[in-house]
Structure 1
Amino acid sequence: MRKWFMLACAFALAFVVTGVQAPEAQAKTQFVTIGTGGLTGVYYPTGGAIARMVNRKRAEYGIRCTVESTGGSIFNANAISSGDLEFGIVQSDLQYLAINGKGDWAKRGPQKKLRAVFALHPETVTIVAADDANINGPEDLKGKTVNIGNPGSGQRTNAMDLFDILGITLDDLNAQGVKPAEAPSLLQDGRIDAFFYTVGHPSGAIKEATAGKRKVHIVPVTGIDELYKKYPYYAPSVVPKAFYPNSSNTEDVKGFGVKATLMTSSDVSDDVVYAITKEVFENFEEFKKLHPAYQVMTKEGMLQGLTAPIHPGALKYYKEAGLMK
């Protein structure tokens, strides 16, 4: 009888531990997913690095973070809006268009639930030009043969935005519309004088362009405050000279571009967004080692180029860290 009594007590204790406490413990774990991009791009390992930082403190935060390879920015923005993703990496220009119901979102209207967390690396609107073409600034593109990118491409849109500010029209130059991968050989062969490419640096295509017999350089773009006012999704950027030792540039090159940004939804809790923001910023030097493109990142710069409202959870950390008032 005593044996059965002891077994009953043991069973009851097991029920208390596994039947009551386990579900309660499970309820405390929040599962979140970061949408990134293709497996071979920069977005996917970026999401992985963020997830690892958060998961190291799973016991403290009660968050389990996973990463999903996706079709990229537009997919991520839509999935966040629909609740299929909690976080996603989105280009800042597409962030702006989504939150304002423009571009791909013109028919669906503003995506009001989207919230910004922080910006990542710059994707610079880069102008690569042959030295013998005497192009020292974007104004010098007039009268030259310039590849502005294939129709529908990001760099073509970026080039047209810059031309708009500078008062340049396509009638002022011999505009070409080929894909970025073809531009380096065209430049080296003398068939074009310059090309636009919106890209994170270092870029294999630009390394190729600077490695040929024809000397080339990256054109600085400055004095464009009007561009930032008219198109708020652009932000200043810098291309380090060290990335392209074969170029004829003698110093880092100032320019402009969009940024990769981490976005979330207003439906995601403040605690979750706060934890992710805190882990990235307090492990900033570790994070910067992820990719050469991140070498130019600064904590202050991670708050630039955000056009969606900042999520309250991220805002809480920025105020605590003295990054925002």
Structure 2
Amino acid sequence: MTSWFKRALVTASLAVTLPVAAANYTIGTGSQSGTYYPFGGMLAKVWSENIDGFNMRAEVTAASVENIIKVASGQQLAGIAMGDSVVAAIKGEAPFRRPVDVAVLFALYPNVVQFMVPADSDIKSVHDLKGKKVSVGAPGSGTRVGSTAILKALGINEGDFKAQSLNYTATTEALANGQIDAGVIIGSAGVGAITELALTRDIRVLSFSKDDLDKIHAALPAYAGMEIAADTYNKVPAFTAPAVWNVLVVKKDMDPKLASEMVKTAFGNMDKIKNVIADAKNTTVENMDRLQGVPLHPSSQAYMNEMKGK
């Protein structure tokens, strides 16, 4: 038997006996005290358990902007992002230097713009933030992009207040310790960071007037007013604030077969996800395309059309 034939037999036997290594992926989320991280973790879990040769883990990131960039550059397979950040990415508007080729796999749930202040603060509306020390979100986060854009739509620029660049956890800690006058978190109604803060400190969340909401929607069409009930957080009165949908982004040219498997698997296991993530109640086929101005991935569009046609 010639040596090359022996080598060929060995190679063939290895190909038969060795298991095929699973592909390892990450999903970009946000800080561990927000909703992105546990939601991304549950998506990663159901995909890893139900798609052959697929392993995924949730990655802690600075959230929306970082996730979009990492998805577009192939560093993450998927990422969670706020709708206005995705719209800016598609258009190549700040903080993005050029248009980014991403698509929406499906919409997740709405994020609410929540400006927190101590309950006894003299700050009654966002217009009272002028001259105050305000955390507007971590660099690279959708909170920072969204909060500064919303304030700008109301004629309030960063130079009008003392801006601090803190993530969710640092924002609530600084507010609790009196190091800032106000802090914003753009997250789900009932987000963990504010829930925990309200259990130890008396706080309020600022309400926006109808006039303010109209101005914001005119400048930022992805936002619409949303009423949040009293006691969503401990002893926090009802408030009305702008809200924007969070979405799951992937590369525009993501493999259609994999995209289809991910969509079908996610919705096929949504009841399991809802048991852990309350906001998943909003993650429905009917809401898949709630973010206007950004295309769904072709596999997502096909799935939605099929399911709505039934």
TM-score w.r.t. length of structure 2: 0.71
Q: Size of the alignment, in residue pairs?
A: 288
Q: Relative to 1, partners in 2 of residues 1:156 and 1:247: Cα closer, same or farther, differing over 3 Å?
A: same
Q: Which residue of 2 aligns with 1:64?
A: 54
CA shift for structure 1 position 123: 3.3
Measured against aligned partners, the alpha-carbon deviations of 1:257-292 in whole angstroms (never above 9, x if no partner) come to 344421111322222212211222233232123235
Q: State which of 95, 98, 102 in structure 2 corresponds to 1:114.
A: 102
Measured against aligned partners, the alpha-carbon deviations of 1:124-160 in whole angstroms (never above 9, x if no partner) come to 211234367483xx47x34876544258756565444
SS in 2 for 1:227: helix
Letter in 2 for 1:101: G
Q: Which residue of 2 aligns with 1:52?
A: 45
Contiguous gaps of at least 5 residues in structure 2: 1-8
CA distance in 2: counterparts of 1:263 and 1:100, whole angstroms: 15
CA distance in 1: counterparts of 2:243 and 2:229, whole angstroms: 14
Q: Relative to 1, partners in 2 of residues 1:243 and 1:114: Cα closer, same or farther, differing over 3 Å?
A: same
Q: Which residue of 1 aligns with 2:25?
A: 33
CA RMSD of aligned residues (A): 4.2
Measured against aligned partners, the alpha-carbon deviations of 1:224-267 in whole angstroms (never above 9, x if no partner) come to 24423432443555545443122233xxx442234442111132
Letter in 2 for 1:186: G
Letter in 2 for 1:243: T
Q: Which residue of 1 aligns with 2:269?
A: 283
Contact 1:148 1:156 (8 Å CA) reproduced: no
Letter in 1 for 2:102: L
Q: Which residue of 2 aligns with 1:80?
A: 71
Q: Relative to 1, partners in 2 of residues 1:261 and 1:219: Cα closer, same or farther, differing over 3 Å?
A: same
Letter in 1 for 2:40: G
Letter in 1 for 2:43: I
Contact 1:269 1:313 (8 Å CA) reproduced: no
Contiguous gaps of at least 5 residues in structure 1: 1-13
Q: Which residue of 1 aligns with 2:114?
A: 126
1:244 and 2:201 correspond? no
SS in 1 for 2:106: strand
Q: Relative to 1, partners in 2 of residues 1:142 and 1:243: Cα closer, same or farther, differing over 3 Å?
A: closer
CA shift for structure 1 position 301: 4.3
Give runs of aligned pairs for residues 1-325 of structure 1, distance below 5 A: 31=23, 33-37=25-29, 40-41=32-33, 42-58=35-51, 62=52, 64-67=54-57, 69=59, 71-72=61-62, 73-106=64-97, 109-111=98-100, 113-129=101-117, 130=119, 133=122, 135=124, 138=125, 141-142=127-128, 146-149=132-135, 155=143, 157-166=145-154, 168-169=155-156, 175-178=161-164, 179=166, 180-181=171-172, 182-186=174-178, 192=181, 195-200=183-188, 201-205=190-194, 207-209=196-198, 211-212=200-201, 216-221=203-208, 223=210, 224-234=213-223, 236-237=225-226, 239-249=228-238, 253-292=239-278, 294=279, 297-299=282-284, 300-305=286-291, 307-322=293-308
CA distance in 2: counterparts of 1:47 and 1:220, whole angstroms: 29
Q: Relative to 1, partners in 2 of residues 1:221 and 1:289: Cα closer, same or farther, differing over 3 Å?
A: farther
CA distance in 2: counterparts of 1:57 and 1:157, whole angstroms: 35
Letter in 1 for 2:236: S
Q: Percent same amino acid among aligned pairs?
A: 18
Contact 1:74 1:94 (8 Å CA) reproduced: yes
CA distance in 2: counterparts of 1:148 and 1:86, whole angstroms: 34
Q: Relative to 1, partners in 2 of residues 1:254 and 1:279: Cα closer, same or farther, differing over 3 Å?
A: farther
Contact 1:34 1:47 (8 Å CA) reproduced: no
CA shift for structure 1 position 63: 5.1
Q: Which residue of 2 aligns with 1:3?
A: none
Letter in 2 for 1:256: P
Contact 2:198 2:233 (8 Å CA) reproduced: no
CA shift for structure 1 position 40: 3.3
SS in 2 for 1:125: strand
CA distance in 2: counterparts of 1:241 and 1:296, whole angstroms: 20
SS in 2 for 1:49: helix
Measured against aligned partners, the alpha-carbon deviations of 1:44-71 in whole angstroms (never above 9, x if no partner) come to 443332233234433xxx4514225253
Q: Relative to 1, partners in 2 of residues 1:49 and 1:298: Cα closer, same or farther, differing over 3 Å?
A: closer
CA distance in 2: counterparts of 1:209 and 1:174, whole angstroms: 28
Contact 2:29 2:40 (8 Å CA) reproduced: no
CA shift for structure 1 position 311: 0.2
